[in-house]
A and B are shown apart, each in its own frame.
Chain A
Amino acid sequence: MAAQEHLHDRVAGISEGAVRALPPVIAPGHTFESVTDKISSIVLTRRTPIGWFLGFAIAFAFLMLLNLTIGHLLMTGIGIWGNNIPVGWAFDIINFVWWIGIGHAGTLISAILLLFRQQWRTSINRFAEAMTLFAVACAAMFPLLHTGRPWLAAYWLFPYPNTMNLWPQFRSPLIWDVFAVSTYFTVSLLFWFTGLVPDMATLRDRAQSKAGRVIFGMLALGWRGSARHWQRYEMAYLLLAGISTPLVLSVHSVVSFDFAVSVLPGWHATIFPPYFVAGAIYSGFAMVMTLAIPLRKFYGLEDFITMRHIHNMTKVMLVTGMIVAYGYANEAFFSWFSGSPYEQYMMQNRMSGPYATLYWSLIAINACMIQLFWFRKVRDNITLLFILSLLVNVGMWLERFIIIVTSLHRDFLPSSWDMYAPTRWDFAMFAGTIGLFLSLFFLFIRFLPALAIFEMRTIVPQAKLQTGHHG
């Protein structure tokens, strides 16, 4: 209770005696009404900004590029991609890991920060969760389409025997991945929808049009804010957060097993699970930042997504980025200390081989550039942070490229060495999934509340009970 009061004082912007006053998680002066009206008006009444149409048009064009690429892929086969033996896995797994990693920040914000009672999560959890869903959807396309015949993938992926009565191999990390990712998507969707229901009721009650009332009315499931319902709702929300927490850590650990369980130098390393999870959160927060900065600017949400959020996200990126940098150092040490010429050559090839430029670029971004986040001046500079967050995503993409391609292209037997280069279709598909992701995100901010309205109501000063007297 004392902690809660302390939090409320901070919310009201009256934190006394703090060494350095933190910006509040919500600007002072907001009430139940103002919070509700401001967020719901984006969906219900405000004119859609012209920038929305422009942004959606561009994203949609890339989505069409994705359709074209998939069409060509299904007609011709995966030979249109650049991967071939020895680099049998390339863009399809690089982009898969990249997208899945991005998704992790959403779950961290919605689940782990809820368990830690981090109130600042409240203004960013809804769109971060949406980001998770869309990122996982983009990620899932790569392994599915890599099967070449995704309509047959059910036989290979799900526990369903083929005509020879053969089942999927449960000793393989690839099948663990199927279970991890599909569970992750399902649980994220349930969590997200559960959070949306009370807000759907708000929109139902506030919609001007009949269509709005009917659609939001159906999505609200008849929610009426009953105390009995809230009690179970809060319990379910807490339980979902509790089970999402180990889930999110397991998902990227399982993704890292795809590599770590193999015997390939550069992949066969025990550091992989924590190193991958930290990288996932690091890149995910970069994406949340990339989305939050324009969102707060164009919709005037600076009152809700305050500098406090920006600072905190930057700090999370700094910490997780340093863990990732430690991972790089550890990989280098491990390869030297192993005494194995294959391991040592792998590292030497990364640092000075044909892909060395990419390796040093990722070191420059993920180990050096992020040191800028130590400085308050940098954390206060929104434009710079936007650019840095984009660079972090580039850096994390390069990391996956290096881990996957440099390990595969020169393995134990020099006679089987080869170079890998992506084709234009590889790039088209990657750009296409970015288009899919952004299209979904544009639709989301237009048609659903991008911030959790009911949770925002809980952090205004009014929500605090006046104790001490009984009428």
Chain B
Amino acid sequence: MAHHDASPTLYGLMAEFDTPTALVQAAERARLEGYRNMDAYTPIPIEELSEALGLRRTRLPILVFAGGLLGGIGGYSLEYWTQAIAYPLNIGGRPYNSWPHYIPVAFETTVLGAALCAFVGMWALNKLPMPYHPVFNVPAFARASRDRFFLCIETTDPRFDRHATAKFLESLHPVGVSEVAP
């Protein structure tokens, strides 16, 4: 809290915890207290955090389904169009639309479409890559990728108050509370 009064603007207040349990409990408390614009930062995925923070389910599965569908239809259409329309060839008397032969490629393009959607969709929904983010301004945050657990209440939260929120975070018995410069 060195620059408590020095920084006029603030991204938020961040509390540091040393166990996942402490963080999940803190997130639950903060939610009960009425805070909504907050996020937790952890070195491991913690399923219970989503509930504690009240996160909504991700739309990713729908996107992936759409990607797979598109890939499958695209792959089959490619096969049908090239073999039956663009250059129809009689191969051993088989029909131009030899659908059993077209299954393997259509299957692979389905998988490809779904996988590309899962990959691109996940990063896009997460708004990554993002080279700069205010949380990195906190020196202790380097341990968020190793062994420490952070809860950050952002200034955009209607209930945010620099002093009251700091006091509230202190009451959760964190290792420390830091101000996050924007």
**Which residue of A is nearest B81, CB measured?**
A167
Q: A176-B104, A463-B44 are in contact. Are A224 and B144 (CB under 8 A)?
A: yes
Q: Are B55 and A463 in contact (CB under 8 A)?
A: no
Could you tell me the distance in whole angstroms from the C-beta of A255 to the nearest C-beta in chain B?
11
The CA of A217 and the CA of B128, in the complex, are separated in Å by 12
Could you tell me the distance in whole angstroms from the C-beta of A254 to the nearest C-beta in chain B?
6
Could you tell me the distance in whole angstroms from the C-beta of A126 to the nearest C-beta in chain B?
16
A234-259: CB near B (< 8 Å → 1, else 0) gives 11100110011011001000100100
* B4 adjacent to chain A (CB < 8 Å): no
* B146 adjacent to chain A (CB < 8 Å): yes
* A457 adjacent to chain B (CB < 8 Å): yes
* B61 adjacent to chain A (CB < 8 Å): yes
Partner of B108, one of A221, A223, A233, A250: A250
Q: A224-B41, A224-B136, A232-B58 are in contact. Are A240 and B118 (CB under 8 A)?
A: yes
Q: Are B41 and A226 in contact (CB under 8 A)?
A: yes
Q: Are A247 and B60 in contact (CB under 8 A)?
A: no
Selected A-B contacts with CB under 8 Å, 17 pairs: A171-B98, A176-B104, A183-B108, A183-B109, A186-B115, A190-B118, A194-B122, A202-B145, A206-B142, A224-B41, A230-B49, A231-B49, A234-B47, A239-B118, A457-B43, A458-B45, A462-B19
Q: Are B112 and A183 in contact (CB under 8 A)?
A: yes
Q: Are A250 and B107 in contact (CB under 8 A)?
A: yes
Could you tell me the distance in whole angstroms from the C-beta of B132 to the nearest C-beta in chain A?
7
The CA of A223 and the CA of B123, in the complex, are separated in Å by 10
* A45 adjacent to chain B (CB < 8 Å): no
Q: A236-B122, A239-B64, A240-B115 are in contact. Are A230 and B42 (CB under 8 A)?
A: yes
Q: How many residues of B contact A (CB 8 A)?
A: 75
The CA of A246 and the CA of B172, in the complex, are separated in Å by 47
The CA of A168 and the CA of B21, in the complex, are separated in Å by 58
* B3 adjacent to chain A (CB < 8 Å): no
Partner of B40, one of A204, A227, A250, A462: A227
**Which residue of A is nearest B42, CB measured?**
A225
The CA of A257 and the CA of B103, in the complex, are separated in Å by 13
Please give, as numbers and ranges, the residues of chain B lying within 8 Å of A190 by CB-CB distance. 115-116, 118-119
**Which residue of B is nearest A36, CB measured?**
B146
Please give, as numbers and ranges, the residues of chain A lying within 8 Å of B116 by CB-CB distance. 186, 190
Please give, as numbers and ranges, the residues of chain B lying within 8 Å of A194 by CB-CB distance. 119, 122
Q: Are A32 and B146 in contact (CB under 8 A)?
A: yes
* A323 adjacent to chain B (CB < 8 Å): no
Q: Are A202 and B146 in contact (CB under 8 A)?
A: yes
Q: How many residues of A contact B (CB 8 A)?
A: 66
**Which residue of B is nearest A194, CB measured?**
B119
Q: A167-B86, A246-B111 are in contact. Are A225 and B43 (CB under 8 A)?
A: yes
Q: Are B122 and A205 in contact (CB under 8 A)?
A: no
Partner of B122, one of A168, A206, A232: A232
Please give, as numbers and ranges, the residues of chain B lying within 8 Å of A250 by CB-CB distance. 104, 107-108, 111
* B83 adjacent to chain A (CB < 8 Å): yes
From residue 177 to 223 of chain A, which have CB atoms closer than 8 A to chain B?
179-180, 183, 186-187, 190-191, 194, 198, 201-202, 204-206, 217, 221-223
Partner of A166, one of B87, B128, B133: B87
Please give, as numbers and ranges, the residues of chain A lying within 8 Å of B48 by CB-CB distance. 465
Most buried by A among B53, B105, B108, B147: B108
From residue 43 to 69 of chain B, which have CB atoms closer than 8 A to chain A?
43-50, 53, 55, 58, 60-61, 64, 68
Q: Are B114 and A239 in contact (CB under 8 A)?
A: yes
Could you tell me the distance in whole angstroms from the C-beta of A43 to the nearest C-beta in chain B?
14
Please give, as numbers and ranges, the residues of chain B lying within 8 Å of A244 by CB-CB distance. 111, 115
Partner of B91, one of A32, A171, A235, A470: A171
* B125 adjacent to chain A (CB < 8 Å): yes
Could you tell me the distance in whole angstroms from the C-beta of B145 to the nearest C-beta in chain A?
4
Known: A190-B116, A454-B44, A457-B44. 8 other contacts (CB 8 A): A36-B147, A225-B145, A227-B39, A228-B126, A231-B55, A235-B60, A463-B44, A465-B46
The CA of A37 and the CA of B118, in the complex, are separated in Å by 31
Please give, as numbers and ranges, the residues of chain B lying within 8 Å of A229 by CB-CB distance. 126, 128
The CA of A240 and the CA of B104, in the complex, are separated in Å by 19
The CA of A250 and the CA of B142, in the complex, are separated in Å by 42
**Which residue of A is nearest B47, CB measured?**
A234
Q: A170-B101, A227-B41, A235-B58 are in contact. Are A466 and B91 (CB under 8 A)?
A: no
* B94 adjacent to chain A (CB < 8 Å): yes
Q: A166-B87, A221-B128, A239-B118 are in contact. Are A458 and B44 (CB under 8 A)?
A: yes
Q: Are B41 and A225 in contact (CB under 8 A)?
A: yes
Q: A170-B101, A180-B108 are in contact. Are A33 and B61 (CB under 8 A)?
A: no
The CA of A243 and the CA of B64, in the complex, are separated in Å by 10
Please give, as numbers and ranges, the residues of chain A lying within 8 Å of B55 by CB-CB distance. 227-228, 231
**Which residue of A is nearest B172, CB measured?**
A471
Please give, as numbers and ranges, the residues of chain B lying within 8 Å of A235 by CB-CB distance. 58, 60-61, 122
* B82 adjacent to chain A (CB < 8 Å): yes
Could you tell me the distance in whole angstroms from the C-beta of B19 to the nearest C-beta in chain A?
7
The CA of A167 and the CA of B146, in the complex, are separated in Å by 53
Q: Are B46 and A230 in contact (CB under 8 A)?
A: yes
The CA of A36 and the CA of B47, in the complex, are separated in Å by 21
Please give, as numbers and ranges, the residues of chain B lying within 8 Å of A306 by CB-CB distance. none
Q: Which 7 pairs between the two chains have the least Cβ-Cβ distance? A: A236-B122, A32-B147, A221-B129, A167-B82, A176-B104, A222-B130, A227-B40
* B169 adjacent to chain A (CB < 8 Å): no
* B8 adjacent to chain A (CB < 8 Å): no
From residue 441 to 459 of chain A, which have CB atoms closer than 8 A to chain B?
454, 457-458
